[in-house]
Structure 1
Amino acid sequence: MSEVFREGKAVLTSPSSVPVAVLVAGIAIIATRLISLALQVHELGLAEVASFVYRSAQAWDSTLIFIASQLLFFFELRCAVALMRGKNWGRWGYAVAQVVVVLYMYSASMGWIYPELFSINGENSLQIVHLLISQKLPDLLVILLLFVPAGCRQFYRQR
């Protein structure tokens, strides 16, 4: 600690430093999840959120999907923390979670899975795919930040 005060800067060692792309990706995952939750609660209001939870608990299939969505939310947050700590399973877990979300949302939007708790409204399948891709584009960019840069791949190989 005294080195920080003497030299005026923190001492970082290169093997333990986290690549900027990994930090950006981890912070982006946490920020987008928490901000989207806050915006939805603000838009709906507490009474409507309580009504949504109550309606979701009316049927066992809606309840299972609602509980699964909450578990997925917390799993994504856990993956974000893990990938910033250098755990390879964190980035793979986040990528698999996004594949599951896209498959469920597409299936529910097409009417193949009931209940359609989390679905996208569209006139045809092309419009649904377009809306789904535009909605998941930030998550795709985060996945690219975790898997494409050579520094990120090397960071996870070292651990």
Structure 2
Amino acid sequence: MSETLKNAMANSTPAPVMVAGIAIIATRCLSVLMLANELGYDEMANFVHRSAQAWDSTLIFIASQLIFLFELRCAFTLLRGSNRGRWGYVMAQIIVLGYMLMASVGWIYPEIFSIPGETNAQIIHHTLMQKVPDALVLLLLFVPPSSRAFFRAR
């Protein structure tokens, strides 16, 4: 067991916070593994190559990797009881959701991480459905009284 999880358990981390932190780590890591499995090596290399063709695509690709790492960092810090980790995760979700909605509707180019759809309502619906797990994690971090007390005491 890692030191972070040992320290988190020793400090009596509430169950909702522990579940939320582990869920963030698990969903992010599993999504990368599933994407790599689905695309395969050649298609992943092609995606990186296409992303590096223009500056704007490269910046969006690098920003996506930084947000991925930032979300993982937030998960580990909130397991230690840092309120900054909780609010950092909220900010990351707002940025990701905002970009996905704007890129999918066609307001921002390039549309590397856009959701296909025929109408704007359909696009917004699909985008919001993809963010349901993250919304549930946020509920675990903000709604239960034990979670609020845990972060307030720190």
The one-letter code matched in structure 2 to 1:131 is H
The answer to whether residue 18 in structure 2 is matched with residue 27 in structure 1 is: no
- Corresponding letter in the other structure for 1:104: Y
Partner residue, 1:41: 36
| 2:139 aligned partner | 144
Unaligned runs of 5+ in 2: 1-8
CA distance in 2, matches of 1:15, 1:154: 17
Superposition RMSD in Å: 1.1
Residue 125 of structure 2 aligns with an amino acid whose one-letter code is: H
Is 1:132 matched with 2:127?
yes
CA apart distance, 1:133: 1.1
Cα distance between partner residues in 2 of 1:29 and 1:149: 17
1:158 to partner: Cα distance: 0.7
Once residues 51 and 128 of structure 2 are traced to their aligned partners in structure 1, the CA distance between those partners, rounded to angstroms, is 26
1:85 aligned to which of 80, 88, 97: 80
**Counterparts of 1:114 and 1:130, CA distance in 2:** 21
SS at match of 1:82: helix
Residue in structure 2 matched with residue 111 of structure 1 by the alignment: 106
Q: 1:158 to 1:88 in 2, by over 3 A?
A: same
TM-score for both structures, normalised by structure 2: 0.93
Deviation at 1:15, TM superposition (A): 8.5
Q: Quick check: which has more Rg, 1 or 2?
A: 1
CA distance, structure 1, for counterparts of residue 123 and residue 49 of structure 2? 28
Normalised by the length of structure 1, the TM-score is: 0.90
RCO comparison, higher one (Cα < 8 Å, 6+)? 2
